[in-house]
Amino acid sequence: MPVRYTAGCTTPQTMDAVKHEDQKDIEELRNRIAGYRSGQEDEERFKLYRLTRGVYGQRQLGVQMFRTKIPYGKITSAQLERIADISDTYTNGNLHLTTRQNIQLHFVKLDDSPAIWEELAKAGLTAREACGNTVRNLTASATAGIDPEEPFDVSPYVQASFEYFLRNPICQEMGRKIKPAFSASERDSAFTYFHDFGFIPRLQEGAHGFKVVVGGGLGAVGMVAQTVYEFLPANKIIPFMAACIRVFDRYGEREKRQKARMKFLVKKLGLPRFLELAEDEWQALPHPVYDIEYPAQALPALPEDSSTDEAPAPGFERWKTLNTFPQKQHGFYAVRLKIPRGDIHADTARALAKVVRAYAADDIRITVQQGLLLRFVRPQALVPLYNRLLQLGLAEVGANSIADITACPGTDTCALGVTNSTGLAAELEHVLLTEYDELLEDCDIRIKISGCMNSCGQHMAAQIGFHGSSIKVPPRIAPAMQVVLGGGVAPDGQGFIAQKVIKLPAKRIPQALRSLIADFQDKRGPAQRFNEYFQQQGKRYFYGLLKPLAETESLGEEDFYDWGQDEAYRQSIGVGECAGVTLDVVGTIIAEGHSKLELGREAYAAEAWGDAIYHAYSSMVVGAKALLLAADVRCNTHRGIIDDFQKTYVEGQNFALPEAQAFPDWVLEMKKQPPSQAFAEAYLKRAADFTRSVAQERKRQLNAGGGNDKLVVDNYYKA
């Protein structure tokens, strides 16, 4: 049935009020931590849980990274102050802005995480599904709502999508994460082309809709998303995502983590088959159409006009040229703040919040370049705003330029980091500001750095990118960087994945950058952009250009020290928090099925028929998985579990279904029935009967085997 959603804003009406669902999440986290501390819960199982609550293990033992989930990077001055206060109280006082428009806090004690979440919830923020195998933060162009080229503001649609999938049962325990993005215009400033779902706004006869792309991704194997619709009406984008996520949840890989993203499923099935399966799921959605009541576009509340004769501090004109631009709303400017490496201290953040309230709309946007965007600044407020920003150290020129380098935390805090991306970023910014200052004004090159190949720094989406690696120089190992070239977005919005060119010692990367810039400046054609030049010359040309820097015979002692480090390099790569081996017993998995059944009953009581049905479905899949693991059958997809249970137990006459049906037809009837109260009630009863039968069968197996439960040491449980 159609649903009408009224788009609103994320700003809470009153501070310090915690919603019921937030309080429930916080209490559950507190109880699960207590269970883990007391030994009642296995470490790996607890890890999978805490990740979906934004708590991610750091490189340093005994502390966590805590991530907020901030849809499209929209944050108010009060919320920024609250996070700064939290950082001062519970962490090292640093706020780290991410490429997915979130804020991360580092060096958090696990036992403090419920209190941190409670403080966030009082400010209208959450950590739910900020990490883990969930629908991650929905990102969007920071310029959404003020972009002179946008057909309409996508922000209400991003907010509606965020709220729809938050705590939604279809996306709590998938094989891997899902990342959606919304661009403000055809220029694709949100990088939709490398996302699982990408949406670009379009108008058709005055109606709102989106160009839709699916199956993109970066990482070790980059893929450009494929176009599914040139125009999909706005009231179908949420059902489309929901249907596709159901396909991903059912058919997506779960055992082999490196093949578990949606891009691999789309490639494996082929786009036509993937869409056919999504269409098959669509009919069973709770909301086949999801109308969003688009709010009237009005100016936000603004500070009073504070005209002043204040003289601008030195550097104002260049800052205005490089860091501001006119909005589509006549008479207002947007102001970009460069936040080097995405790190801003709590004291600075609090001071910035006061400046925002004095000179701009109370609507700060975190950008995908790890910066901040201030909006609705009057022309006469630019001078006093610049002067205040200069006092705070936030008026550095070149935001969103070649000298605004994106870098993940790398070996500073990440267990997967191979080399120090932040130290290298600082060095390259110094080179650019001191030797190539003129490029800040007219250069299409963007530089991005990741500490490993996983592309958290989005190096594969940069004209010039680097990712962490190492080089063996027997008997030692030197820190290195893989150079990738040719990624990013063209002026027409076409996206490119960078190509690997050559691996170089990390200490030679500044010289590599000089060589690339010099060659480009010397040989480019008139008005030729960097990627056009790269494609013209070809990868082999750039390999030859940089190859002299790859020789290792002349490496000095300093080459065995990574950037920003005072100890010789030691390769130390941990295990990512989305992977890991689990020690489990079949009985515990059966108990999980019971837990999902209880969630279904709770959803039914709340009259959420669709949620109740999906929880019931999950309980049956988990129950089938438990018995398959007891029989040493691999479980790497939901669909595989369903089919294998039929072969192993039903056809093997070890398990009789109440209706004597084939298990796939029996459990997947939820795909064919619209979510109604009657079907939800019947399907929950079916799940309860099945769960009871699973427990009875397992009891029979244990009695026959002497009473010992089976130890599962594998990744198969993840399905």
Q: For residues 546 and 587, state if they share a domain.
A: no
Rama region for 704: left / alpha / beta (φ>0; ψ in -120 to 50; rest): alpha
Which of 350, 366, 392 is the last residue in one of the domains? 392
What is the percent of the chain with per-residue pLDDT over 70, rounded to a whole number?
Answer: 94
Residue 584: per-residue pLDDT: 54
For 320-350, write each residue's pLDDT tens digit: 999 999 999 999 999 999 999 999 999 999 9
CATH of the domain at 614: 1.20.120.330
> Rounded to an integer, what distance in angstroms lies between the CA atom of residue 447 and that of residue 485?
10
Give the pLDDT score at 221: 86
Answer yes or no: is 708 within a domain: yes
pLDDT of residue 716: 47
With tokens 């891997």, the residue in question is 176
Name the residue type at position 93: G
CATH number of the domain at 173, please: 3.30.413.10
Cα torsion at 417, 419, 421, 425 (round to 10°)?
Answer: 180
Residues 238 and 339 in one domain: no
C-alpha neighbours within 13 Å on the C-beta side of residue 145: 27
267-288, pLDDT tens digit by residue? Answer: 999 999 999 999 999 989 999 9
Look at 37-46, 208-217, 709-718 and tell me which has the smallest mean pLDDT: 709-718
Give the DSSP H or E segment for 302: none
pLDDT score recorded for residue 580:
36
Residues 374 and 422 in one domain: no
Residues 515 and 591 in one domain: no
Indicate if 206 and 330 belong to the same structural domain: no
Verify that 539 and 428 share a domain, yes or no: yes
Query: Is the predicted pLDDT of residue 239 greater than 70, yes or no?
Result: yes
- CB-based contact 12:163 (threshold 8 Å): no
Asked if 332 and 324 touch (Cβ cutoff 8 Å), the reply is no
Query: Which of 266, 297, 328 delimits the end of a domain?
Result: 297
SS (HEC) of 2-51: CEEEECCCCCCCCCCCCCHHHHHHHHHHHHHHHHHHCCCCCHHHHHHHHH
Do 430 and 534 have their domain in common?
A: yes
Residue pLDDT, tens place only, 88-126: 999 999 999 999 999 999 999 999 999 999 999 999 999
Q: What pLDDT is stored for residue 670 in this prediction? A: 93
Same domain, yes or no: 260 and 219: yes
Structural domain includes residue 161? yes
Count of alpha carbons within 13 Å of 226, Cβ hemisphere only? 13
**Per-residue model confidence as pLDDT tens digits over 454-508:** 888 999 999 999 999 999 998 999 999 999 999 999 999 999 999 999 999 999 9
Residue 69 lies in a domain: no
* Residue 223, domain member (yes or no): yes
Residue-wise pLDDT for 147-160, tens only, equals 999 999 999 999 99
Q: Are strands 447-450 and 464-473 parallel, antiparallel or unpaired?
A: parallel
Say yes or no to pLDDT of 259 above 60: yes
Determine which of 47-61, 69-83, 474-488, 648-662 has the lowest per-residue pLDDT on average: 648-662
Q: Show which of 330, 362, 392 is a domain's final residue.
A: 392
What are the start-end ranges of the H helices in 575-676? 586-605, 609-630, 638-645, 663-667
Q: With a cut of 60, say whether residue 615 has pLDDT above it.
A: yes
Cα separation of 407 and 447, whole Å? 9
Total structural domains within the chain: 4
Other residues' Cβ atoms within 10 Å of the Cβ of residue 330: 6
Q: Has residue 350 been placed in a domain? A: yes
* Same domain flag for 639 and 542: no
Residue 653: its pLDDT value, please?
Answer: 80
* H/E segment holding residue 227: strand 226-233
At residue 675 the predicted structure's pLDDT band, cuts being 50, 70 and 90, is: very high
Give a yes or no: residue 679 inside a domain.
yes
* Predicted pLDDT at 572: 63
- Do 432 and 549 belong together in one domain? yes
Residue with tokens 């519970």: 90
Does residue 237 carry a pLDDT above 70? yes
pLDDT number for residue 5:
62
Residue 65 falls inside a structural domain: no
**Whole-number mean pLDDT of the chain?**
91
Are residues 387 and 410 both part of a single domain? no
Residue 617 in any domain: the answer is: yes
Is the pLDDT score of 659 beyond 80?
no
Question: Which region among 170-184, 438-452, 519-533, 644-658 has the lowest average model confidence (pLDDT)?
Answer: 644-658
122-to-15, 20, 138, 456 alpha-carbon distances in Å: 6, 11, 21, 29
* 229 shares a domain with 347: no
Residue 519: give the domain boundaries. Answer: 406-560
pLDDT tier at 565, thresholds 50, 70, 90:
confident
